[in-house]
Structure 1
């Protein structure tokens, strides 16, 4: 009569072991929602492709949630754990009085990633050429649009008075809209800007990244409650990002393009390479995940200029620097 009891006890122990091992696997899972698929985010793809996340014991699942509003909705709804999106979205959530605010814990890019693309080549570019033109802009309140307006104002152009600004086209459809004939100028990320140049559909005439200065343009963020309950996981995530950022700094555009190619299967290698080169040359890719006070202040200046900032938000209210600081010190 004792053998069945022993067998039952052994079975119970086996089930417990399987449950515990399952929990361990689950603990390493992180779902990321990226605001768009772009060469702009090269260090993220490097971290995935080079196995830096796996080296930290993480199983990262990446999905594209087109547009900052959709990405933030997915994060707040718990459909993703971590969002890769503009830092301004965390300010919007904070200013709405959220009980569980969104916290920025690691920066990926430190400049705007869009380029001004003109439909016609008019020779030497002057910003005054935009006056009276039809400009296909980005979503109101999003960082691309705010950085664009900030730049135009810097050059003495009223974005809502000196040109016809189109902002009613969904983020995912802007490229197609310009390709079909809408607008004389458009604001595009890479590799779309380089693709248009190669196809003869447009000409890159200026960089909004160079013009608008350094700011925490795209960051990894999560709900405060998630970070509190998953501090070790967030640290491992940030460590992997630091490894990828260092790798990108130390390797050539050609090598980076080869590494991220699986995420851009329909893009020619020469286009990938030229896109990466543009971003590297203007210092777009952050060297560490740290978000600085200077960058944060510039971000709010850009938002204020666009009329999208109710009041200044102290950096410590929505930024946790601890993970980036530890990664910068520990990761070699």
Structure 2
């Protein structure tokens, strides 16, 4: 619990009038463990990522109720941009380890730029075979559809921090009803300096 998918599940439930006492979150992981949880009836619904989604849809074991795999479908479902994948670090650790932070961000930005200049086939060819669970064609289809989700530069989209806070305030007691100085919660400083 406490994962990004758990938080988004809570938010989406609240937007449909479903209260936290009306469902029970269960941590089931992703990939094969998520698929097993669906097939065995351990969970009735869940939120996961690709290629797990496409694997379940292909076998008919699940269907997509809310699609967050492209910027357009995410905006339609959530009402704004939601940069789901980010680098999270404690501010005090960042302040004490600026060189390490810069190297990590350099790697992420370099990877994002590499993704922008390569085809889904070229990307898949660099991944270990177990990543696409024996179905490379299915993975390629899923990746092709998801390519617009990858930031071309790693920068936080304008307005996204405000939107994320709005989402968090619907279910997270730590921020609900509180004023948060968002300028202290994120930075593009290291992305701007990436080499």
Q: TM-score, normalised by structure 1?
A: 0.48
- Deviation of the 1:313 alpha carbon: 2.2
3-state secondary structure, aligned to 1:186: coil
Decide which of 261, 279, 287 is 2:152's aligned counterpart: 287
- Partner of 2:5 in structure 1? 144
- Deviation of the 1:228 alpha carbon: 2.7
Decide which of 67, 81, 97 is 1:214's aligned counterpart: 81
- Partner of 1:223 in structure 2? 90
Question: 1:181 and 2:48 equivalent?
Answer: no
- Deviation of the 1:245 alpha carbon: 0.5
Q: Deviations over 1:95-138 (max 9, x none)?
A: xxxxxxxxxxxxxxxxxxxxxxxxxxxxxxxxxxxxxxxxxxxx
- Partner of 2:18 in structure 1? 159
Q: 1:312 to 1:258 in 2, by over 3 A?
A: farther
- Partner of 1:242 in structure 2? 109
- Partner of 2:58 in structure 1? 198
Distance 1:263 1:183 in 2: 24
- Deviation of the 1:301 alpha carbon: 0.8
Decide which of 137, 157, 177 is 1:270's aligned counterpart: 137
Q: Output aligned runs, 1:1-332, within 5 Å.
A: 139=1, 141-154=2-15, 157-160=16-19, 164-167=22-25, 169-172=26-29, 173-209=33-69, 210=74, 211-212=77-78, 213-262=80-129, 264=131, 266-280=133-147, 283-308=148-173, 309-310=175-176, 311-327=178-194, 331=195
3-state secondary structure, aligned to 2:95: helix
Point out the structure with the larger strand share: 1
Structure 2: any 5+ residue segments left out of the alignment? none
3-state secondary structure, aligned to 2:111: helix
Between structure 1 and structure 2, the one with the greater Rg is 1
User: RMSD of aligned C-alpha atoms?
Assistant: 2.7
2:120–2:140 Cα contact (<8 Å) kept: yes
- Deviation of the 1:302 alpha carbon: 0.7
- Deviation of the 1:205 alpha carbon: 4.2
- Deviation of the 1:190 alpha carbon: 1.2
Q: 1:272 to 1:183 in 2, by over 3 A?
A: same
- Deviation of the 1:325 alpha carbon: 1.4
Q: 1:150 to 1:226 in 2, by over 3 A?
A: closer
